[in-house]
Structure 1
Amino acid sequence: MIYFDDYKEFYNVFKLAAEGDIDATKEMLNYLTLLTADSNDTEMIRMLKATFIDRLVDESSSVGWIKKGDYIIENLKNEEDLKSALKCYLRGAMMGDTFGFDMIGETYYKGIAGEPDYEMAWIFFWLSIEYSNVPNALSLCRIGQMFKYGQRVDINEDDASFFLSKAIEVAGEYADVDDYALLAKKELAELV
């Protein structure tokens, strides 16, 4: 993730993204996602995000499809939007980015469109773990929580501890900033 030290650095990456550089486009999307929470001009940021997302989708980027799903969820208005977001996540996953499975699982786990559906969450978290070269902390943390709280499975503190520990482990050097590694640390501390 690029954190821009000055406007010149920001401008250079922005210009590369505007010219179609896929890596720069991904960096701008990440930056704009962080900026949305802190900015007063969120409409302009949303427009820029939508433009960069469309560019990635046009380039058949799995990341673009997942970001498009995220964008739809951020602006969710109805069940049709939810279906569109899930399709975007699935398309990204089918293109090889298992984070799409993570996001589908998270959508069901949180009950974004109603009540949580732990059965569906479990299926998609497992798909992510099964097909990923390196599983994401998100799925590992959520599976750990499901064992801890008896969501879809019987409570099993040993399995909860295993998956929560793995979530922290896969986050590696980012374990102190990754949201799910931090959540896994909190959940694990409560088990002991």
Structure 2
Amino acid sequence: MEVDEFEQFFASIWPRLLRSALRRLGWDEAHEVASATMLTVWTKGLPAPRDGDEYLRLVGLGFRILEGHIRNLRRSLARRERLLAQLHALQAVRPTAEPDACEALLSRDDALAVRALLSILSTAEREVVELVVAGYRVGEIANLLELAPGTVSSRLSRARKTLAESLDHR
């Protein structure tokens, strides 16, 4: 489909796609999924409709794609809500954690030195250390980050080793 043909198709279907999305979503989300739908149609590189039947099939495809984007958005929002609920539940029932070597490091008054030490860690290791400092246990961190507990333990162990070596050098 050439650019001018797509622009004509876009002008004819856009208002209907947006109205359909607005019936089920707020303005921002509806605009997002309708835009994503048109982008998907464009990237498929479909030929321009030659007659009314092909035009109707292309419109039908656009609405099926829109439905898929709406389902994906809802799944994503539901996943986010479940994760937030898990986080709140863990914070509510979490027992007080015993001080950890990482926590002792982060509770130092020398904030610049602590930041410098943490900067030598990978992002994944730093994330685990920060959650340990916040009082989470390995199993809880694994659930929050959707990782295996062994992966969390490995990252924490590497982080502790790296921090200990760095402190020894200082």
Scaled by the length of structure 1, the TM-score of the pair is 0.22
Structure with max Cα Rg: 2
Between the two structures, name the one with larger relative contact order (CA 8 Å, sep ≥ 6). 2
